[in-house]
Amino acid sequence: MINPFINATINVLETMAFMKVSAGKPYVKQDNTAVGDVTGILGLTGVAHGTIAVTFEEKCILTVVSNMLGETMDQLNEDIADAVGELTNMISGQARKELDELGKVFKAAIPSVITGRNHTIRHYVDGPKIAIPFETNGGEFTIEVCFDR
Amino acid sequence: MDTSIKILIVDDFATMRRILKNILKQLGFKNLVEADDGTTAWDVLENQEIDLIISDWNMPKMTGLELLKKVRASTKYKTAPFLMVTAEAQKQNVIEAVQAGVSNYVVKPFTAEAISDKLAKILK
């Protein structure tokens, strides 16, 4: 169930921000502290219940949004938070499309965004938190996927 | 394509409205108005003359699908071009939108070429 989220993340970043993206090795995250400085989180319901969180280091998201909008972004602000929400939404949509083709139908809620160093990511269900780190030419980000089964 | 037409862009994310505006401006469209949900979009549609609607699906207050159904049920806009640009890419979503009368459908993420191609089809 993790691969659709990896494929979706690469597709969204490469298409919307024109960046080369490579996925690292997934691991089980033990704590709730965000790896990044700004996080989009979105609830999923359907054949299982869970959440996807996308958390970006500041340098990475500034590069991503600068590329998306074609203008230089130099600080974390409302524009960046809005973009992270939409990126989370698109990653969820692409992943749900691939899962749908595998017979696993999910619906998504509207994403929320948290900003600040060492903020907490609260997944909506109590399951293993699978984290997948990504590298780009603009910095690093991580997605977390957590399902109840 | 007639680039003098008035286009309404509906999306709850300002980022997406900016991206779409950038693409449309590059294509030569200058007459662009925005709304951040279906309810606000309907107010714009009632009070202005809009030639083309580009709408997201998943929005608070009134979704893009609800907006599409309202548009198709109206006398003023029942045949107006309506392009859905959405992250909702599951087969059932596309079927629902087609049944509700969408003119064409673009799945996010998209390229500028994808938007240009779909507009050329629905505005020819």
State the ipTM, two decimals.
0.91
In chain B, beta strands by DSSP E: 7-10, 32-35, 52-55, 82-86, 104-107
**A16/B4 Cα distance (integer angstroms):** 27
Q: Which of residues 71-90 of A touch B (CB under 8 A)?
A: 79, 82-83, 85-86, 89-90
What is the rounded average pLDDT of the residues A31-53? 95
**Interface contact flag, B109 A12, Cβ < 8 Å:** yes
How far does Cα A111 stand from its chain's mean position? Answer: 10
B32-35/B7-10 β-pairing: parallel
In this prediction, residue A121 carries a pLDDT of: 95
Residue B124 has pLDDT above 90, yes or no: no
**Interface contact flag, B19 A11, Cβ < 8 Å:** no
CATH number of domain containing A86: 3.40.1550.10
**Number of structural domains in chain B:** 1
Residue A149 has pLDDT above 80, yes or no: no
Residue B2 within a domain: no
Residue B1 within a domain: no
User: Are B27 and B116 spatial neighbours (Cβ–Cβ below 8 Å)?
Assistant: yes
Residue B79 within a domain: yes
Tokens coding B3: 């680039």
Q: Give the count of beta carbons closer than 10 Å to the beta carbon of residue A37.
A: 22
**Interface contact flag, B13 A90, Cβ < 8 Å:** no
> Residue holding tokens 């596309």?
B94
In this prediction, residue B116 carries a pLDDT of: 97
Residue B91 within a domain: yes
Read off the pLDDT of residues B15-67 as tens digits, 9 standing for 90 and up.
999 999 999 999 999 999 999 999 999 999 999 999 999 999 999 999 999 99
CATH number of domain containing B13: 3.40.50.2300
Range of the domain at A91: 3-147
Kindly state whether B22 is in contact with chain A, defined as any CB-CB distance less than 8 angstroms. Answer: yes
Kindly state whether A97 is in contact with chain B, defined as any CB-CB distance less than 8 angstroms. Answer: yes
Q: What is the pTM of this model?
A: 0.94
